[in-house]
Structure 1
Amino acid sequence: MVVFEGVTKHFPARDRDAGAFAALDGIDFAVARGSITGIIGRSGAGKSTLIRLVNGLERASAGKVSVDGVDVGALDEAGLRSLRRSVGMIFQHFNLLSSRTAFDNVALPLEIAGVDRQEVRKRVEPLLDLVGLSDKRDRYPAELSGGQKQRVGIARALATEPKLLLSDEATSALDPETTQSILELLRQINAELGLTVLLITHEMEVVKAITSNVAVIDRGLIVEHGRTFDVFTRPQHETTRALLSASLGAKLPEWIRSDLKALPLPGDRVLVRLIFFGETAFQPLTARLVTELGAEVNILAGAIDEIAGEPFGSLVVSYPADPDTLERARHFYQETGLATEVLGYGA
């Protein structure tokens, strides 16, 4: 649905002598049709710039952005207006007009497009029903909660029957319960309407809950991308690992983490994260590890999670770091296919 080919975006530097600032620097990435794809990254990584290129709010300095086969950069103003009817967008702060009711906010893009009032009613009423706001059609934004305002924003984004929905930090201003309800609504829209959803967020819980695919952007580059489950369970880039460190898997207390060493001393124990997914998710491998290594195995932390609808679990265990025990453990992991990560060594 969306293809980025060698996309670069420069902005003028504040200091005239510093030259142009590269917000994006050679992006190659594709968004699968019908998917919910997330773009994650730190503040200033280029997420917002990337999504604004899709509907022509920004123009690429070099490279090509295509939406459903159409080269966005080659469009004139009339072509951009046509494109934007097929690309809906929802925003962090809702961007509703305070002087218009929920019904009239949803109707606005249709009115701008010149749709007659009878057709507007035929389109808007089902959308308000879809987002669960039929009873709020005549309420003004000041009378709505944050979640209800965002639902109006989603209905408005769907009014022109788009093929693609862009979400720019759409849940960042919402509480966790409301966020969950909005994510469920986006998942429903994706399933029922076959709508492709491209969202940018810094909230890892949002990515885990709703996306099928994810890309990690850092300093204007896509440093990692793939199935959400694969990226979250086997992150390859240090930026990805840093972003996920606070939101995934078993957490160790600070007093343990602060004493970890990179290399063992005589008598030390090794701390290992055991990662359970796929075939290993439902096997009693922890009990087998204890049997294999003996009673010296301690369980320090554990967590069970779900990523993109797939089960994921982790345990942090420790056992003696002597050569014999380490070799038996290595053989056990190799035999069972259990994924592991050595966290360090401690007394």
Structure 2
Amino acid sequence: MTVSTSPIETGDAAVVFDGVSKRFAASGQSAAFTALNDVSLTVGRGSITGVIGRSGAGKSTLIRLVNGLEKPTAGKVLVDGVDVGALDEAALRELRRSVGMIFQHFNLLSSRTVFGNVALPLEIAGMDRRAIDERVRPLLDLVGLADKHGRYPAELSGGQKQRIGIARALATEPKLLLSDEATSALDPETTQSVLELLKRINAELGLTVLLITHEMEVVKAVTSDVAVIDKGEIVERGHTFDVFTHPKHETTRALLSGLPGSKLPEAVARDIRPAAAAGDRVVVRLTFFGAAAERPLISRLIQSIGAEVNIIAGTIDEIGSKPYGSLVVAYGADPETSGKADRFFAENGLTVEVLGYVA
């Protein structure tokens, strides 16, 4: 994906949204509304692409268009060059065999064992028992549940249930895996293990993954590309590292502000104001990456401006093996100090966002 808004390229694309809109008519007590508006987006073959947005932004509608659970009101959704909205039921069933899906709430059958849940789509497809066994057992090995093949969902943890869901989604040997908020019901440690599994599947099987989420941590941990959706429109898209380090849209910046080290402490957030008064300190968020992440920036900043600098929050992390850091600091808002700070930031290639002012 690129940040460009020019006509999309469909060359080596697994999924293409081409000017897609989806409008729902009024129903019962629900008013008519537009869930998606003129969305154009390309998901590269073999990539892990994330679509992130708040609740109600249109994420779930977007992903349901890919496997034909919804049809677009306008535009086209192409999967491997095939217009999903134009398929009849028989062709749609065939396409769905090449598109696996994992869900937030697992959607497992409580009356079936681990093996039986993974085998279900193969049984529906009419595969014989021996072929099913040969397909399912390697998948249970892949997701680390070979020793649990005879257990039932009620006996397993949330992370184990999601691994069953992933194995089941892979049973039909799909080319594309859709993930609908697959980690939002899991604790952080379990989420990390599931994301590591998705990365491994992507690397070993060459599987394209389209992942929707409201969690920036998930996007940071696993995706190569990301699109930000807000009120049914794609407001920003690009390589994950570029979007994280140079966010252009206010929605993206708001989502990034919730990451550890970026969120303001409650005491500061409560007192911050948009305009400076005499004697105030300016609060800024610094984003740095690459070589800058390894420099003693704060000590150099203090030397450059000749004034105290308060560290309010901060973190150093990686996005796709590239070092990335976010630091929230405060210093004097007077013109002389602020001017020196601005020159220092420019000389060191730091991205700066003024968050407000505090006494």
TM-score, length-scaled by structure 2: 0.91
* 2:22 counterpart of 1:9: yes
Of the three residues 226, 242, 262, the one matched with 2:274 is 262
SS in 2 for 1:82: helix
Give the residue type in structure 1 aligned to 2:302.
V
* 2:129 counterpart of 1:117: yes
Give the residue type in structure 1 aligned to 2:17.
F
Structure 2 gap ranges (5+): 1-13
RMSD between aligned residues: 1.9
Shift of residue 248, structure 1, vs aligned partner: 4.8
Give the residue type in structure 2 aligned to 1:328.
K
Stretch deviating more after TM superposition (213-222 or 188-197) = 213-222
* 2:211 counterpart of 1:199: yes
Shift of residue 262, structure 1, vs aligned partner: 2.7
Q: Residues of 2 paired with 1:143 and 1:257: CA distance?
A: 43
Counterpart in the other structure of 2:156: 144
Shift of residue 191, structure 1, vs aligned partner: 0.6
Give the residue type in structure 1 aligned to 2:23.
H
Give the residue type in structure 2 aligned to 1:115.
M
C-alpha change, 1:270 and 1:99, in structure 2 (3 Å) is closer
Shift of residue 185, structure 1, vs aligned partner: 0.8
Q: How does 1:232-243 map to 2 (within 5 A)?
A: 232-243=244-255
| Percent identity over paired residues | 73
C-alpha change, 1:287 and 1:10, in structure 2 (3 Å) is same
Structure 1 gap ranges (5+): none
C-alpha change, 1:79 and 1:285, in structure 2 (3 Å) is same
TM-score, length-scaled by structure 1: 0.94
Shift of residue 141, structure 1, vs aligned partner: 1.9
Counterpart in the other structure of 1:297: 309
Counterpart in the other structure of 1:57: 69
Counterpart in the other structure of 1:190: 202
Q: Quick check: 2:103–2:180 contact (8 Å CA) kept in 1? A: yes
* 2:47 counterpart of 1:35: yes
Of the three residues 160, 168, 171, the one matched with 2:180 is 168
Give CA-to-partner distance per residue, 1:180-204, whole Å, 9 cap, x none. 1111111110110010011111222
Shift of residue 15, structure 1, vs aligned partner: 5.9
Q: Quick check: 1:209–1:309 contact (8 Å CA) kept in 2? A: no
C-alpha change, 1:17 and 1:82, in structure 2 (3 Å) is closer
C-alpha change, 1:263 and 1:190, in structure 2 (3 Å) is same
Q: Quick check: 2:315–2:326 contact (8 Å CA) kept in 1? A: yes
Q: Quick check: 2:307–2:337 contact (8 Å CA) kept in 1? A: no
Give the residue type in structure 1 aligned to 2:18.
E
Shift of residue 346, structure 1, vs aligned partner: 2.9
Q: Residues of 2 paired with 1:285 and 1:142: CA distance?
A: 51
Counterpart in the other structure of 1:340: 352
Q: Residues of 2 paired with 1:301 and 1:233: CA distance?
A: 17
Shift of residue 51, structure 1, vs aligned partner: 0.3
SS in 2 for 1:162: coil
* 2:223 counterpart of 1:211: yes
Shift of residue 127, structure 1, vs aligned partner: 0.5
Counterpart in the other structure of 1:106: 118
Q: Residues of 2 paired with 1:241 and 1:17: CA distance?
A: 32
Q: Residues of 2 paired with 1:333 and 1:177: CA distance?
A: 36
Q: Quick check: 2:293–2:316 contact (8 Å CA) kept in 1? A: no
Stretch deviating more after TM superposition (143-152 or 65-74) = 143-152
Aligned length: 346
Counterpart in the other structure of 2:140: 128
Q: Quick check: 2:53–2:229 contact (8 Å CA) kept in 1? A: yes
Q: Residues of 1 paired with 2:307 and 2:250: CA distance?
A: 35
Q: How does 1:68-87 map to 2 (within 5 A)?
A: 68-87=80-99
* 2:189 counterpart of 1:177: yes
Shift of residue 322, structure 1, vs aligned partner: 2.6
C-alpha change, 1:299 and 1:105, in structure 2 (3 Å) is closer
SS in 2 for 1:299: strand
Shift of residue 24, structure 1, vs aligned partner: 1.0
Stretch deviating more after TM superposition (264-273 or 82-91) = 264-273
Give CA-to-partner distance per residue, 1:236-287, whole Å, 9 cap, x none. 2122222222225444333333333333333332222222212311122222
Q: Residues of 1 paired with 2:263 and 2:57: CA distance?
A: 26
Q: Residues of 2 paired with 1:267 and 1:40: CA distance?
A: 39
Give the residue type in structure 1 aligned to 2:257.
S
C-alpha change, 1:30 and 1:329, in structure 2 (3 Å) is same
Q: Quick check: 2:227–2:234 contact (8 Å CA) kept in 1? A: yes
Q: Residues of 2 paired with 1:87 and 1:287: CA distance?
A: 52
Counterpart in the other structure of 1:318: 330
Counterpart in the other structure of 1:280: 292
Q: Quick check: 1:249–1:305 contact (8 Å CA) kept in 2? A: no
Give the residue type in structure 1 aligned to 2:21.
T
Give the residue type in structure 2 aligned to 1:319.
Y
Q: Quick check: 2:114–2:164 contact (8 Å CA) kept in 1? A: yes
Shift of residue 68, structure 1, vs aligned partner: 1.0
SS in 2 for 1:88: strand
